[in-house]
């Protein structure tokens, strides 16, 4: 029997995610508390769900803006087919803990620099925490404003290190954002492309195309069938390309919610040896649908009122 369990626990907000941290429509809020739940029920014989809670805030500093936050995400794998397998039992549940810091520096009216540092703990916590479960996620971007402040248009180019594409790696970032009118805007780039539409003061939609990923470490021996030996440190890597449609509704100045449906393509879910990167086990995930929903609490509702179009 498949299990669907909802835990309200602490999230993941800035860098990575199969989790439901959310896109441009949430970035109007200066201080927020977010809860989310994502369910992938059709990954071949494995069900994957993630849930969590995140807090983030930004405030003005000389020549720029400073942001800080914290997040916790809990993930769980279920399967009738692999129910008692060593691999599923090892990675049946896993955790991600983020500390998030970013600084945007305005060089002049057109140019700005963005630096983000988000140390991540990704582990099954099967043993006491070890240093190899810590990923020093970071990002550096240059932004060039192309249009007026009242109708934003800009280009960003940067370099990042983290788990956006699976196991920790360096990857480039590139985006072009344009405001068409007061209702419609879009972003083209890598790793994310998105279209945003505001129906009215309470309702918004967005459509996104972006990679989804999970990376988590297991610090206990696990048998490698390919080598006929035990491996002390292994990791689970899930990657997919997801297209999703999300509906966001503001209940009032403080509370809002969203509901999301998506479809994942080119998914992979593998267990690999940390030292050699050798594939120890392949769950052979299939294309499939996912659903997600969440709640957002805007702590400084006066700021949110000022930002409403």
d(CA 57, CA 195): 25
- Residue 249 CB coordination number (10 Å): 13
In the prediction, which pLDDT does 302 show?
53
CA atoms within 13 A on the CB side of 86: 13
- Element spanning 202, H or E: none
- Residue 150 CB coordination number (10 Å): 7
The answer to whether 147 and 154 are in contact (CB under 8 A) is: yes
In sequence order, what DSSP letters do the residues of 242-291 get, joined into one string?
EEEEEEEEE-SSSEEEEEEEEEEEEEEEEEEETTT--EEEE-----EEEE
The answer to whether 123 and 216 are in contact (CB under 8 A) is: yes
pTM of the predicted model as reported, rounded to 2 decimal places: 0.85
pLDDT in tens, the chain (309 residues): 333 333 333 333 333 433 334 434 334 447 889 999 999 987 877 889 999 999 999 888 888 899 999 999 999 988 887 777 888 889 999 999 999 999 999 999 899 999 999 999 999 999 888 999 999 999 999 999 997 777 889 999 999 999 999 999 999 999 999 999 999 999 999 999 999 999 999 999 999 999 999 999 999 999 888 888 899 999 999 999 999 999 999 998 889 999 999 999 999 999 999 999 999 998 888 898 999 999 999 887 554 443 444
d(CA 23, CA 207): 10
- Give the closest residue to 292 by CA, choosing from 23, 1, 15, 10: 23
The answer to whether 58 and 26 are in contact (CB under 8 A) is: no
In sequence order, what DSSP letters do the residues of 109-150 get, joined into one string?
SSEEEEEEEEEEEEE--SSS--GGGEEEEEEEEEEEE-S-TT
In the prediction, which pLDDT does 6 show?
33
In the prediction, which pLDDT does 301 show?
57
Q: What's the longest Cα–Cα distance across the chain?
A: 63
In the prediction, which pLDDT does 59 show?
86
């Amino acid at each position: 029997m498949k299990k669907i369990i909802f835990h309200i626990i602490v999230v993941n907000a800035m860098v990575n995610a199969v989790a439901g941290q959310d896109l441009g429509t949430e970035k109007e809020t200066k201080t927020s508390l977010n809860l989310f739940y994502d369910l992938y029920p059709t990954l071949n014989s494995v069900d994957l769900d993630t849930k969590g809670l995140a807090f983030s805030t930004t405030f003005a500093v000389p020549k720029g803006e400073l942001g800080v936050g914290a997040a916790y995400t809990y993930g769980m794998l279920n399967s009738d087919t692999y129910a008692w397998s060593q691999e599923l039992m090892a990675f049946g549940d896993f955790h991600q803990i983020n500390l998030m810091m970013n600084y945007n520096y305005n060089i002049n009216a057109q140019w700005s620099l963005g630096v983000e540092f988000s140390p991540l703990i990704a582990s099954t916590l099967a043993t006491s925490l070890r240093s190899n479960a810590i990923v020093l996620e970071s990002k550096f971007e240059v932004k060039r404003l192309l249009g007026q402040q009242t109708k934003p248009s800009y280009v960003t180019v940067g370099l990042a290190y983290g788990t956006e594409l699976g196991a920790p790696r360096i990857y480039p970032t590139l985006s072009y954002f344009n405001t068409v009118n007061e209702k419609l805007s879009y972003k083209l780039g890598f790793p994310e492309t998105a279209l945003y539409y505001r129906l009215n003061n309470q309702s918004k939609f967005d459509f996104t195309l972006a990679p989804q990923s999970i990376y988590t470490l297991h610090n206990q021996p696990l048998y490698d069938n390919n080598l006929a030996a035990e491996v002390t440190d292994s990791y689970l890597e899930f990657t997919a390309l997801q297209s999703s449609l999300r509906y966001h509704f503001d209940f009032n100045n403080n509370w809002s919610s969203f509901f999301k449906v998506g479809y994942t393509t080119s998914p992979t879910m593998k267990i690999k040896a940390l030292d050699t990167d050798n594939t120890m086990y392949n769950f052979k995930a299939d294309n499939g649908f996912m659903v997600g929903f969440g709640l957002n609490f805007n702590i400084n509702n006066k700021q949110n009122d000022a930002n409403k179009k």
